Amino acid sequence: MTEAIVVPLKRFDLAKDRLRRDDDLDVASIARNLAQGVIGASAPRQVIVLSEDSEVSDFATSLGAEVWRSDATSLNEAVQDAYQGLRERFVRLIVVHGDLRRPGGLGSAEFEPGITLFADHHLKGTNVLVLPTGLDFRFAYGSNSLASHSEQAERLGVAHRIVTNSPWRFDVDERSDLDGP
């Protein structure tokens, strides 16, 4: 099965808005280190980083990732663009947030057919989304993306499951996320 991990990454100097409330944190370095961990844990799968930024593109390329450039103005548009554009090359995509605290196993995990949603630890967000290409799926990252993505699977009539106990449920948005489990 040909599949790839897709990692959308914002410019490191702009990433993690909520962490930027704490002036004592080097948020750009934190974002870069988290992204490096996600890309590293994705091996041996092909990794495609979505970015509009040349620094992020250089970073991703230096780690062996392919870069997908988009003129999209939002995360959802960028992921939608890549999903449409990559359907000729891959039968399944694994969309992964670049800020997972414990990304281990991304490259070796076995996924069931259909759509799998890996919830964040608040049971609101979608930290990892596994789905076949070629669907009329509409990405809905943001507030309550887990429910929105589940509704998309139901709308399409595609078997789906929600995983709530994955180590991938821990992403970093707030300062307290840096020290959690």
The two tokens of residue 12 are: 């490191």
Q: Is 7 exposed, middle or buried (0-12, 13-18, 19+ CB in 10 A)?
A: buried
**Domain covering 3-178 in this structure, CATH number:** 3.90.550.10
Our measurement of the distance from residue 99's CA atom to the centroid of its chain's CA atoms, rounded to an integer in Å, reads 8
b/e sequence 49-78, b meaning 16+ C-beta within 10 Å: bbbebeebbebbeebebebbebebeebbeb
Binning the chain into helix, strand and coil, the percentages to the nearest 5 are 35, 20, 45
pLDDT value, residue 9: 94
Q: Is 163 exposed, middle or buried (0-12, 13-18, 19+ CB in 10 A)?
A: middle
Amino acid at site 178: L
pLDDT at 24 over 80: no
pLDDT value, residue 13: 81
pLDDT value, residue 149: 98
pLDDT value, residue 70: 79
Q: What is the pTM of this model?
A: 0.94
pLDDT at 34 over 70: yes
Average pLDDT over residues 157-165: 97
* Domains of the chain, residue spans: 3-178
pLDDT value, residue 174: 77
Contact between residue 53 and residue 8 where contact means Cβ atoms under 8 Å apart: no
Distances in Å between the Cα of 29 and the Cα atoms of 59, 155, 159 are 12, 40, 39
pLDDT value, residue 26: 81
